[in-house]
Structure 1
Amino acid sequence: MEHSEQSAQSDYEQPRPPGLIGSLAGVAKNSLRLVLSRVELAACELSEVRDHIVQLSVLFALSVLAAWFAIAFGTATLVVLAWEALGWKILLILAVVFVVIAIGLVMTISKMIRSGKLALPATMAELKADRDMLL
C-alpha cells in the first residue's frame, strides 16, 4: 500500500524544472524573439526614414528647378533694367545676393539633416537597452 501511496503522491507533485538542454532551448527561443522584434522595429523605422528621404529629395529637386528659373529670368531682367545706371556693378550686386541665398539654403538643409529625421532613435535605444541588459 505504501508503494501505491508514493505513486499517488508523485502524480500530484510539481513537474521538475527543465534540464540544461531545456534551459538552453528557452534562452535560444527568447533570443530569437528579441532579435525578430528588433528587426521589425528597424524595418518600421527604415520605412519612415525612406519616406522622409523621398520627400526631401522631391522638395530639393523642385526647389532647385524653381531657383534656376528665378535666377535666370530675374538676373536677366535686373541686368537689362539697371545696366544704364550701374553698369558692371549690377553684376557684382547680383553675385553677392546669390551667395547670401546659397548660404541660407545650405544652412536650412543642414538643419533638416541634424533634426534627426533620418536617424533610427527607437531602434538604437532598444539595442542599447538590450546591450546594457546583457552586459
Structure 2
Amino acid sequence: MEQQTPRPSDFRPGLVSGAVNLAKNMFGLLMSRIELAALELAEVRANALKLVALFVLGAIVALFAIGYWSALIVYLSWPALGWKILLILAIIFTAIAVGILLYVQSLLREGKLSMPATMAELRNDHDALL
C-alpha cells in the first residue's frame, strides 16, 4: 500500500489559518454592526416620519388658528389702538417663533434622532482593535 502524502490544500500553516480566522471574525463583526445600524436606522426613520407628519399637521392647524385669532384681535382692537395692534401682534408672534426654534434645538441636542447603541458598539470595536 502506498502511503498518501497530504496535499497542500489539506492543511493550513498557522499564520495563514490565523489570518483566515481573523478575516472571518472581522467579517462577522462587520455584518453584526451593519445589522444593528440597519435596525436603529429603521427606528430613527420611523420616528422621524412621525415627527415630520405631526409637525406638518400641527403647523397647518396652528396657522389657521393664528390667522383667525389675529383677524379677530385686529378687528376688535383697531378702534382703540389703530396700527399699533399690528406691531403688538408682530412682536408676540416673533417671540413665539423664537421659543419654538429654541425648543427644537433642545430636542436635537438631546439626541432624539441619534443611534446610541450603534455608536457605542463602534467605539468599543475601535478601542478593541487599536
TM-score under structure 2 length normalisation = 0.86
1:106 aligns with 2:101: yes
Q: Which amino acid aligns with 2:55?
A: F
Larger radius of gyration: 1
- Specify the code of the residue in structure 2 equivalent to 1:76: A
How many residues in Structure 1 have an aligned counterpart in Structure 2? 120
Instruction: Say yes or no: does 1:63 pair with 2:95.
Output: no
- Alignment-derived partner of residue 93 in structure 1: 88
Determine the structure 2 residue equivalent to 1:32: 27
Structure 2 residue runs of 5 or longer lacking an equivalent are 1-11
Q: Deviations over 1:85-111 (max 9, x none)?
A: 111111111111101111111111111
Q: Give structure 1 regions of 4+ aligned residues with deviation exceeding 3 angstroms.
A: none
Measured after TM superposition, the shift of residue 18 of structure 1 is 6.0
Distance (whole Å) between structure 2 residues aligned to residue 66 and residue 106 of structure 1 = 18
Q: Distance in 2 between matches of 1:109 and 1:67?
A: 16
Q: Which runs of 5+ in 1 are unaligned?
A: 1-16
**In percent, how many aligned pairs have the same letter?**
50
Q: Please, what TM-score do these two structures have when normalized by structure 1?
A: 0.83
Deviation at 1:24, TM superposition (A): 1.4
State which of 47, 52, 61 in structure 2 corresponds to 1:52.
47
Q: CA deviation at 1:118?
A: 1.0
Q: CA deviation at 1:121?
A: 1.1
Q: Tell me how far apart the structure 2 counterparts of residues 93 and 20 of structure 1 sit (CA, whole Å).
A: 79
Give the C-alpha shift of residue 47 in structure 1.
0.8
- Structure 2 CA distance, aligned partners of 1:40 and 1:117? 20
Measured on the aligned residues, the alpha-carbon RMSD in Å equals 1.7
